[in-house]
Amino acid sequence: MSSQPAYDHLPLEGKRRPVNTYRLQLTPDFRFEDAAGLLDYLQNLGVTDLFLSPILQAAPGSTHGYNVVDHSRVSEDLGGEEAFIDLATRAHEAGLGVVVDIVPNHMATPKPIYYNRQMWSVLRYGPDSPFAKWFDIDTGGDPLLLPILGKPIGKVLEDGELELVDLDAGLAPGLEPQRVLRYYDHVFPLADGTADLPLEVLLESQNYRLAYWEITNEELNYRRFFDVGSLVGLRVEDPEVFEATHAKIFDLVERGFIDGLRIDHSDGLANPAEYFSRLRKATGGLWTVTEKILAPDEELPPSWQIAGTTGYDCAFRIGQLGVEPRAALPLGALMRRLTGDVVTDYPAVVQQAKREVLETSLQTELYRLANLAYTVCDSDIRLRDTSFRALRDSLTALIVAMPQYRTYFVPGETLSSSTEAVLATAGAAARDELPPERHDALDILLALLMGKPIGANRVSEMEELASLQIGFQQVCGATTAKGVEDTAFYRWTHLTSLCEVGGEPAFFSISPEEYHSWAKQMQEQWPLGMTNLSTHDSKRSEDVRAQMSIISRYPHDWATLVGELRKVSLSYRPATLQGAIENLIYQTVGATWSPDGPIEAERLKEYIRKSAREQKQWTNWVSPADDLERETLEFAANLLADPLAEELFEGWFSSNREEILGAILGAKALQLMSPGVADTYQGCETLRYSLVDPDNRRPVDFAALAKLLSRLDDTGESASLREKKLRLTANLLRLRRELPEVFASPEGTYQPLPSTSSSLVAFGRGKSAGLQVLCLVDLDGPSPLGSKASPRSWHNAGVVLPEGSWISVFSGKHFSAGEILLDDLFAEFPVEVLRLGSTS
């Protein structure tokens, strides 16, 4: 690997280079004007750039903005374009840049659908619509399927639930008055000349087919965002669609109101590399990062002309770095007692979950791929005897075996060695799973997907082959997201903090050396990529995950605690309680126990309900097991209300208070000191115990945070964990802002420091002239694996400080160069950041 930065990954000359971003989740209750009111606080915190969730017009009532319905308008629900421009102008006056999240992969089909004028046109005019090529639709000449009915169409007609009404401009501003079809809150256009037909004939004459929602996963004929039928895939690979869907963003960039971009779900794009190239050219080389989950041994394609990822790779490594590796077996034994799972089962759990997703919510996508493969084979006499079922089975096995989200093969181009290796690895695994009679079909499928010569005819020129190659990659990503993130991660309870977006539970823990290797690679290849610990998609906030890592510090004590909890809860623990949910409840309550006590019962219950349904084993979103769910949620609430259980949890939290403090602050220090642009998700500059959305999108009391930060600045004292984290975050964000070339620049350096402690993560940051900042975090804390030890001691371990006089960013204490004992270095907790004072 080259030691030189890839300069195509940097913003072009004259474009802003963020150092610290602060992510704000905009909603109709938190608009542009509200964000503008935070600028003084964010500037004081040390933030250099404001990072906003999507700003374009989303579906009515959207609380997140990822369901865009109009690319030509800034969201009126958030305040409109003038309010955004005012926010950007005021941010720039305060010295802050503005980064915006954009959603190129999909568009919403809202209720009513006329809010999406392009889709309305497609429904009305079909292939003749000027917007027909906008959407990734494959109807084969059939009407577009709209599975929105609450029961079969025959019953809907029998009950008279469809009616023809007049739509006027008052109901749908901008649309001409017209006759429409209405089904409760849904409204649909009519094809020309069909308004006066009998209802059943009228329905058969449209460019769409209204259908029962339960057939969604069997007959859908458009690409979705994962399995969300209300989000239809966009064909931004078409230059006209690209320009039309990005015009407003490009206009705001050109006028100087947007300084950077975050790209949502690039795995769904047909050709991400081409998309990023077009984006770079259109924006003049703006700083851009993409939401991309990488496998532990996967690298971001170097051809992508972006600054890097949004930082899941950073969060994964910091999370696993804080886990004690020797706890894998004792926590595995506990998991087995509760659930029956053993530590070696995880790969099988993932494979089963991916297979289930392909056979249920993504079976339409799988069928389409199999049909494409069958069409290609049927066109060639040498391939013609490959059956549809054999190809479908081979596709299933291959997708299940894929070791990463997707590959990035472009039809017609030479396959890269890395992509060929990934497909070969998946192919070997699929072969082991398939019966021998399917091996020939698998070989043919692999040759087609790799673009290798096969058969007698020129199948390489078929449109169906290109569609198969692109679609396979898109479905692989969707299968992994739904099968792993949204299924397997809820079934696996070894240590649930490992089951995080971008995580890999198969890697129970990583070493400081592995972290150093990754960080050096980031500095060399992606020096302006983003780092994060929490996002709007996190299943657990950074503080919950860090606190949960303490379970691995003392696994035997935790097992004893769980045993006691099971005893005290025996009278109200239902016999039907599933073991994985029981294990999840104990870990979640422990990891969210704060200085103020337990999490609120309703928040816990909503989280457990969502987790159980995402497991898809004994309940699910489509057919929830109401009685079993009620018993499970009552158990969770009763556990929180039980004084004996409260005493046990409070005792665990109190006895581990110092370790929790060190774990939370250590994780934050590592993120803020590592190479790249450091993002802070709203509220996570201080203690924030949040669970999966919508819990992690709760409002933040910014006024209280601003007041607290001001007080900490005035007094220089911080007593509580909440105050200590805010103080640490502010100090390090300000340090980064002061030294941008050290932390977020290709000129920066990353250098591990020599130490006699195997658990110490110690490194220096600087420029070519030398180190300027040192970060030191001890992962072991006060005692080795096992039961609680009394005194804090680092067992005479030490670290070698480089030449110079070093000053603590937190305490102002001075340290000299040379070897220093960790006992002398760490004061309140096992985290320290030093900056260079003088080289004399």
Report strand pairing: 749-752 vs 760-767: antiparallel
Q: Cα dist. 717→342, 665, 728, 777 in Å?
A: 47, 16, 11, 21
| Alpha-carbon torsion, ordered 326, 330, 335, 338, to 10 deg | -170
Tell whether the model's pLDDT for residue 819 goes beyond 90: yes
Q: Cα dist. 185→112, 182, 226 in Å?
A: 6, 7, 25
Residue 178 tokens, joined: 């017209």
User: What pLDDT does residue 717 have?
Assistant: 83
Tell whether the model's pLDDT for residue 267 goes beyond 80: yes
| 222-231, 263-272, 475-484, 703-712: least confident range | 222-231
| 68-72, 576-580, 753-757: least confident range | 753-757
Q: Taking Cα atoms as reference points, which of 383, 358, 399, 400 lies closest to residue 441?
A: 383
User: What pLDDT does residue 537 have?
Assistant: 95
User: What pLDDT does residue 838 have?
Assistant: 65
Range 689-702 average pLDDT: 96
Instruction: Tally helices (H) and strands (E) across the chain.
Output: 30, 24
What does the alpha-carbon distance between residue 309 and residue 537 come to, in Å, rounded to a whole number? 15
Range 119-124 average pLDDT: 96
Residue 823 tokens, joined: 């006992």
User: What pLDDT does residue 455 have?
Assistant: 82
Tell whether the model's pLDDT for residue 484 goes beyond 90: yes
Instruction: Give residue 553's region: left, alpha or beta (phi > 0; psi -120 to 50).
Output: alpha
Pick the CATH number of 555-655 from 1.10.3470, 1.10.10, 1.10.150, 3.30.2310: 1.10.10
User: What pLDDT does residue 780 have?
Assistant: 76
Percent of the residues in the chain that have a pLDDT greater than 70, as a whole number: 96
The SS3 assignment for 158 reads helix
User: At 458, is the pLDDT very low, low, confident or very high (cuts 50, 70, 90)?
Assistant: confident
Tens of pLDDT, residue by residue over 641-683, are 999 999 999 999 999 999 999 999 999 999 999 999 999 999 9
Tens of pLDDT, residue by residue over 30-54, are 999 999 999 999 999 999 999 999 9
Q: Which residues of 180-204 are buried (b: 16+ CB within 10 A; e: fewer)?
A: bbebeebbbbbbeebeeeeeeebbe
Residue 596 and residue 539 in contact, taking contact as beta carbons nearer than 8 Å: no
User: What pLDDT does residue 336 have?
Assistant: 98
Residue 761 phi, psi dihedral angles, 5° rounding: -100, 105
Average pLDDT of the chain to the nearest whole number: 93
What is the full DSSP assignment across 383-445? TTT--HHHHHHHHHHHHHH-SSS---PPTTSPPPHHHHHHHHHHHHHHHHHS-GGGHHHHHHH
Residue 154 phi, psi dihedral angles, 5° rounding: -60, -40
Residue 157 tokens, joined: 């007609």
User: What pLDDT does residue 792 have?
Assistant: 43
Sign (positive/negative) of CA torsion 281, 26, 547, 508? negative
User: At 217, is the pLDDT very low, low, confident or very high (cuts 50, 70, 90)?
Assistant: confident
What does the alpha-carbon distance between residue 67 and residue 811 come to, in Å, rounded to a whole number? 47
Residue 408 and residue 419 in contact, taking contact as beta carbons nearer than 8 Å: yes
Q: Cα dist. 191→120, 143, 179, 292, 473 in Å?
A: 11, 12, 10, 41, 35
Tens of pLDDT, residue by residue over 497-550, are 999 999 999 999 999 999 999 999 999 999 999 999 999 999 999 999 999 999
H helix runs in 569-619, sequence order:
579-592, 601-615
Predicted structure pTM score: 0.95
User: Which CATH homologous superfamily contains domain 16-105+236-310?
Assistant: Glycosidases (3.20.20.80)
User: What pLDDT does residue 153 have?
Assistant: 95
User: What pLDDT does residue 785 have?
Assistant: 38
Tens of pLDDT, residue by residue over 141-184, are 889 999 999 999 999 999 999 999 998 766 677 788 899 999 99
For domain 113-233, the CATH class is alpha beta
Q: Cα dist. 159→181, 216, 266 in Å?
A: 15, 22, 44
User: At 456, is the pLDDT very low, low, confident or very high (cuts 50, 70, 90)?
Assistant: confident
Tell whether the model's pLDDT for residue 618 goes beyond 70: yes
Range 82-98 average pLDDT: 98
What does the alpha-carbon distance between residue 199 and residue 154 come to, in Å, rounded to a whole number? 12
Tens of pLDDT, residue by residue over 737-793, are 999 999 999 999 999 999 998 889 999 999 987 899 999 999 875 444 344 543 344
Tell whether the model's pLDDT for residue 440 goes beyond 60: yes
Domain map (residue ranges) of the chain:
16-105+236-310, 113-233, 349-488, 555-655
Tell whether the model's pLDDT for residue 3 goes beyond 60: no
Tell whether the model's pLDDT for residue 86 goes beyond 50: yes
User: At 225, is the pLDDT very low, low, confident or very high (cuts 50, 70, 90)?
Assistant: low
What does the alpha-carbon distance between residue 602 and residue 584 come to, in Å, rounded to a whole number? 16
What does the alpha-carbon distance between residue 158 and residue 520 come to, in Å, rounded to a whole number? 67
Range 611-621 average pLDDT: 97
Report strand pairing: 97-102 vs 106-108: unpaired
